Structure 1
Amino acid sequence: MSQKPNIPLCVDLDGTLIRSDIMLESFVRAFKRHLYIVFMVPFWLMQGKQHLKRELANRSEIDVENLPYDYEFLEYLKAQFGEKRELVLVTGSYKKYAEKIADYLGIFSGVVSTDDAVNLTGRNKAEYLEKTYGKRNFDYAGNEAKDGHIWEISRKAIVVNAKPGTIEIAKKSCEVELIFDRKTASIKKYLKAIRIHQWTKNALIFVPLLASHEFSQTPLVISALLAFVCFGLCASATYVVNDLLDLDADRANSYKKKRAFASGDISILHGLMIAFLLFVLSMIMLFFIPWKFAVVLAIYIGTTLIYSFKLKTLPMVDVIVLAGLFTSRVVAGAAACKISPSFWLLAFSVFVFLSLALVKRASELINLINSKKEQAKGRGYSVSDLTIVNSMGTASGYLAVLVFALYINSLDEKLYKNPGMLWFICPLILFWISRIWLITARGNMHEDPIVFAIKDKGSWVVALISALFLALANQSYIQIQAL
């Protein structure tokens, strides 16, 4: 498999050496820094794609060390480098990042890339290589159908992460020496990318309906179901946007680097398309839900975007905002069903979700300690904050139990025939909160406590027993204010 050292191997970057596209990587980072970028892109593109790439590169910074490299192909290149073969990075990406990547890897003898004069892709790249090396005097590693222009003048082809049609183009153009194949993202991977499992959070939309004992009203149930789907679609869109804006931080995280966009399993372009589609579907559904729900959803979207751009970097502000975003689902459910949530329900929600948000941060800090790092990338926390985060998180969880106990003490028999049965739920919540924090302290907590709770048998047992006591207490269906 080794090659003659005098035959250079020209290597493509986007989609070949890395499982991503540098121009799109630049776009999401530039957009995070300057929102107006999205309006400037069409004008820059009209001046040529190389001009667009330059403007995006000048307004962004990419951590090239944590890019999603195709490590199997990279190992092959390192082996070729060890055999003294000439390797040249030939890419349509702008020179700023092409040169940084080449410097970081240290295996390329030269870099040829898009500059201010030419966009080095397709035929432009083929013309350059033919002029520099001549026909059949170089090998080329690529991944796209448009690389066919280059393979037609190459000695041999190395095909990386390509579709079947591209492989056929390469075979018709020249001898294909190697194929580095990679499975395409499955439906399951896409569902995970939009955080379909996080839709369980949206069950909070039904809480005001259940707490007010209005669940026998079919129109309200339908409205709550529509709100559930609408909120889920919108939340999924914001999750995708958040992941795209947080690529560098996710790639520096031992767990989050496996996420679909951070790992390159799903392209940034697909992510942008998915977010747009989900958002449009969510907006269409608003026509069938009371307008107050739309107001709550708009506040949720605005807060989420501000969180993604800035608030997530501010310690304590981030967890309070997360608690508010959780609680907004309860408010959204009340708005969809035209029910007024009470002080007790909102107070309980805020304290519970603040505790869970702090669980998430504590888990991240423990992972930092295990990775022998001091500071969370893209966050405002350091490992020295773990003790106070633990203290605030447990205190917030116990305050939620206190709120629930005070609520029970304020009840009369108009809402529950046997309100005393609700007292049995208090120790169950106390046990669950304490157990969550104990698991976190031991370093066994999934960074997302909601995902952990979904998979955790203990959490399901607590939920089922609590539902049983609630059913025993809930014998009367008198219409009064929600919990």
Structure 2
Amino acid sequence: MTETVVLGQRGDERQRPAPPRYGGLLGGLVRTARPRQWVKNVLVLAAPAAAGELSSAPALGRLALVFVLFTACASAVYLVNDARDAEADRAHPVKRHRPVAAGRVPVPVAYAAGGALGVLAPLAAARLCSPAVAALLTAYLVMQLAYCLALKHVLVVDLVVVTTGFLMRAVIGGLALGIPLSRWFLITTGFGALFMVSAKRYSEAVQMAGKPGATRALLTEYTTGYLRFVWQLAAGVAVLGYCLWALEEGGVPHTSVLPWRQLSMIAFILAVLRYAVFADRGTAGEPEDVVLRDRALACIGLVWAAMYAAAVGNW
């Protein structure tokens, strides 16, 4: 007999099979660490890519290590979060299938695994990378654990904390290679992250409206109108920051075949507009899911990446 999960979208319902039960304790721990969300940690490449520093093997090796360490820290947070929210997750139509909530991973084991990763990752960073990288990973862990314990219940602060987590991912790559970060990079990355985070919260608020089992208590305190305002504002600032970067000469020599910096604005704006379609519908869940399930958005992203690479490489 197939078990199904009912998900609300704009007042209608759709069904999907419940997640399979496999892998025992180890498989449950891996699933709790959210492998599908590890793709977010590719942001560690953002600053080196913006600076054109991805051409050397030592740099790529260092970034691969930073990716693994940040993934370990993020996994530690997920493990602790699911252990702490196990009871509340059991009341949620989807989250009740998470290994900890479903009882396939005991709560003490999840806490122990999360604690071990949270201690070992910064220590490894201090030994294999630099004290600055270790300090940023430690700050990320402290901030995210504070979020799990208290900050996720504070209006606006919860949005800022999650957005800062994305920004830290983007910053740590430059920190690992000693690359200075431009103001436009920080503005575009920060507000781009806020756009996706607030769009996700808006979608959750729309889908869970009037339904029991919402595990984000703040969803009952935010209005959909406010969350819509936040993602629209963030999208506008991100686009503005990117356009100011693209239009800034900054002493870049004009040896490119085409003005790739300026042309990349078109693809960037199209990507934001396409993502906003899902935000407006209330179906902008996890950013990686939105990108992977929409071919048009994925293609626009690839075109933008190619243009951006050409601009940075001065092709």
> What TM-score results when the alignment is normalised by the length of structure 2?
0.83
Unaligned runs of 5+ in 1: 1-181, 478-483
Whichever residue aligns with residue 436 of structure 1, its letter is Y
What is residue 233 of structure 2 aligned with on the other side?
395
**2:168 counterpart of 1:356:** no
**2:218 counterpart of 1:380:** yes
Pair 296,183 (structure 1): closer, same or farther in 2 beyond 3 Å: closer
Rg larger for: 1
Conserved in 2, the CA contact under 8 Å of 1:398 and 1:433?
A: no
Conserved in 1, the CA contact under 8 Å of 2:118 and 2:141?
A: no
What is residue 4 of structure 2 aligned with on the other side?
none
Pair 357,384 (structure 1): closer, same or farther in 2 beyond 3 Å: closer
Once residues 196 and 87 of structure 2 are traced to their aligned partners in structure 1, the CA distance between those partners, rounded to angstroms, is 24
Q: Tell me the SS of whatever aligns to 2:180.
A: coil
Pairing of 1:91-170 with structure 2 (within 5 A): none
**2:151 counterpart of 1:311:** yes
What is residue 218 of structure 1 aligned with on the other side?
57
Equivalent residue for 2:265, pick from 405, 426, 431: 426
Cα deviation code 1:314-359 (max 9, x no counterpart):
1211011111111011221121111111111111111011111101
Pair 410,208 (structure 1): closer, same or farther in 2 beyond 3 Å: same
What is residue 80 of structure 2 aligned with on the other side?
241
What is residue 451 of structure 1 aligned with on the other side?
289
Once residues 464 and 187 of structure 1 are traced to their aligned partners in structure 2, the CA distance between those partners, rounded to angstroms, is 35
Cα deviation code 1:39-59 (max 9, x no counterpart):
xxxxxxxxxxxxxxxxxxxxx
What is residue 127 of structure 1 aligned with on the other side?
none
Cα shift at 1:222: 2.0
Cα shift at 1:413: 5.6
Pairing of 1:33-112 with structure 2 (within 5 A): none
Bigger Cα displacement from structure 2, 234-243 vs 374-383:
374-383
Cα shift at 1:432: 2.5
Whichever residue aligns with residue 226 of structure 2, its letter is I
Conserved in 2, the CA contact under 8 Å of 1:249 and 1:378?
A: no
Q: Tell me the SS of whatever aligns to 2:242.
A: helix
Pair 265,292 (structure 1): closer, same or farther in 2 beyond 3 Å: same
Equivalent residue for 1:439, pick from 269, 273, 278: 278
What is residue 208 of structure 1 aligned with on the other side?
47
Conserved in 2, the CA contact under 8 Å of 1:366 and 1:383?
A: no
What is residue 243 of structure 2 aligned with on the other side?
405
Once residues 330 and 213 of structure 1 are traced to their aligned partners in structure 2, the CA distance between those partners, rounded to angstroms, is 15
Pair 187,455 (structure 1): closer, same or farther in 2 beyond 3 Å: farther
Once residues 344 and 316 of structure 1 are traced to their aligned partners in structure 2, the CA distance between those partners, rounded to angstroms, is 23
Once residues 290 and 192 of structure 1 are traced to their aligned partners in structure 2, the CA distance between those partners, rounded to angstroms, is 30
Once residues 24 and 254 of structure 2 are traced to their aligned partners in structure 1, the CA distance between those partners, rounded to angstroms, is 50
Once residues 415 and 308 of structure 1 are traced to their aligned partners in structure 2, the CA distance between those partners, rounded to angstroms, is 48
Q: CA RMSD, aligned part only?
A: 2.6
Cα deviation code 1:276-312 (max 9, x no counterpart):
3423442442110011111111111111111111110
Once residues 476 and 468 of structure 1 are traced to their aligned partners in structure 2, the CA distance between those partners, rounded to angstroms, is 12
What is residue 294 of structure 1 aligned with on the other side?
134
Pair 441,408 (structure 1): closer, same or farther in 2 beyond 3 Å: closer
Whichever residue aligns with residue 244 of structure 2, its letter is L
What is residue 71 of structure 2 aligned with on the other side?
232
What is residue 307 of structure 2 aligned with on the other side?
469
Whichever residue aligns with residue 346 of structure 1, its letter is L
Higher relative contact order (CA 8 A, sep 6+): 2
Q: Identify the structure with the greater helix proportion.
A: 2
- The total of aligned residue pairs comes to 293
